[in-house]
Structure formats: structure tokens, C-alpha cells
Chains A and B, each alone.
With several copies, the nearest count.
Chain A
Amino acid sequence: MFALSDRPLLEHPLVQSLADPAAGALVTFEGRVRQQNQGRAVTRLEYEGAELLAANEFKSIEAEASQRFDITQLHCVHRTGMLEIGEIAVWMGVLAPHRGPAFDACRYVIDELKKRLPIWKKEYYADGDSGWINAP
């Protein structure tokens, strides 16, 4: 399951509701706002997402992960709006009977998410400049 949220992610119900008595392993990934990117000092970040399209595309990624890896539950939340340094931009958790597939699936999903989900990041720099990442 996937959601966008404009609130601190660890408060989100999807973060709290991973549970399965058959699961022996939980792997989580958090992407946090770094104070620099490619050598430039970053002061804050802004994220924007196309919510329904992102949810649809995440369903495809989740189906791929479930087919490739023996996992029981997968939750992911991505932040929108303005974020300060150290805040969590994306959180995901994968439950599985065993740890190998939990690691593999978590890594697969974050890699695909970054390539495919319609979410955009704007960086604000210490020198006052700003820009959308991947803009032409």
C-alpha cells in the first residue's frame, strides 16, 4: 500500500500498521533530506506528487515485488510539501517470512520508486538559488 502525506511520515497509519504473525523479518528504508547534494549546500526541499497516478504505479511495483520475492506486506509513504534537513522524505517497510527476500524486495521497490513514481523534488540552496531536480 502507498500514500502521499504532507505530515511527518512516522506518524502515518501505514508506518504503524505493518504486522503479520507469520513474518520473521522487517526491513525498512528511510530516505532523509541531506544537507548537501552534489556539492551544493541544501537548506530545504519541496516534494510534489501526482497522487492517483503514483498510487497506480506503486501498485504495479508492488505486484512485481510480490511476484519476485516471498514477502507478506509492503507499505510505503512519500512526503509532500516543504521539508527541513534530516526529515524523512520516503519511508517503506517490507515484512517477509525470512530476511533475504525482505532486503531484496525493499531495495527493488525503492529503486523502482525513484525511477517511476510521478514525484518531483525541488532543492533550495544556501546561496538562495533553487531548482527542480532532473529539470532540463
Chain B
Amino acid sequence: MIQIEVTYYAMLRERRGLSAESIQTEAASLGALYDDLAGEFGLPNKRQHLKVAVNDQFVSWDSSFAPGDRITFIPPVSGG
């Protein structure tokens, strides 16, 4: 069980009802972590439509993560 920080934006932030939170998790990968959170909080996006970043760098879904990491799930973008 490790502690990480999760940051939410846009539709994910609205559904979760907050911008960031500290979470205790046993998930072994970022993919597993998202699936856990999506199930628990009813997050609207399927994982294949998202990207994920650790400490402000995009990484792959099968990446692992370390205690204290800041993890951001990136919904489909619409800037510009």
C-alpha cells in the first residue's frame, strides 16, 4: 500500500468533485489504478480514451509509480 497524489481535470474533476486528492493504493500499474478509481467514483471516460502522466511527463499505462508521485489522467483534449 503506497500513497500517491491524483490530479483531475475537466470532466474528470467535475465527476470526482475535486481537483486533487491523496490516495492509498495497492494497484500495480497506472492502468489498474485508473480502473480502480473509475469504478469507485464512476469516472466517465474509458481508459482507452485517456492519457496518463506522472510528475508532469506523459507515460504509458503499464508504467509503475512510486510513493509520492503526482498522477494525472488526461481526458480527450479540446484546446485552441
A/B contact in complex, CB under 8 angstroms: yes
Which residues of A are at the interface with B, using a C-beta cutoff of 8 A?
A: 31, 47-50, 52-54, 56-57, 78, 89-90, 110, 113-122, 132-136
CA A110 to CA B79, docked complex, whole Å: 10
Q: Kindly list chain B residues whose C-beta atoms are within 8 Å of the C-beta of A114.
A: 77-80
With A and B bound together, what is the CA distance between A134 and B56 in angstroms? 22
Closest to A51 in B: B56
- Given A89-B80, A90-B79, A114-B80, decide whether A132 and B72 contact each other with a Cβ distance below 8 A: no
List CB contacts (< 8 Å) of B53-80 with chain A: 53, 56-58, 72, 74-80
Q: Chain B, interface size: which category?
A: 20 to 34
A120 touches B56 (CB 8 A): no
9 contacts between A and B (CB under 8 A): A49-B9, A78-B80, A114-B80, A117-B77, A118-B79, A119-B80, A121-B79, A134-B78, A135-B10
- Once the chains are docked, how many angstroms separate the CA of A90 from the CA of B80? 6
Residue contact A118 to B77, C-beta cutoff 8 Å: yes
Which 5 interchain pairs have the tightest Cβ spacing? Answer: A119-B79, A120-B10, A134-B76, A114-B80, A133-B78
Chain B residues in 8 Å Cβ range of A52: 56
Decide if B75 touches A53 in the complex (CB within 8 Å).
no
Q: How far is the CB of B39 from chain A (nearest CB, A)?
A: 16
**What residue in chain B is nearest A134 (Cβ atoms)?**
B76
How distant is the Cα of A53 from the Cα of B46 in the complex, in angstroms?
21
Is the Cβ of B56 less than 8 Å from the Cβ of A132?
no
Closest partner residue, chain B, to A111 (CB atom) = B80
Q: Which residue of B lies closest to A46 (CB)?
A: B10
A57 to B58, CA, bound (A): 9
Q: Pick from B7, B49, B58, B78: contact of A120, CB below 8 A.
A: B78
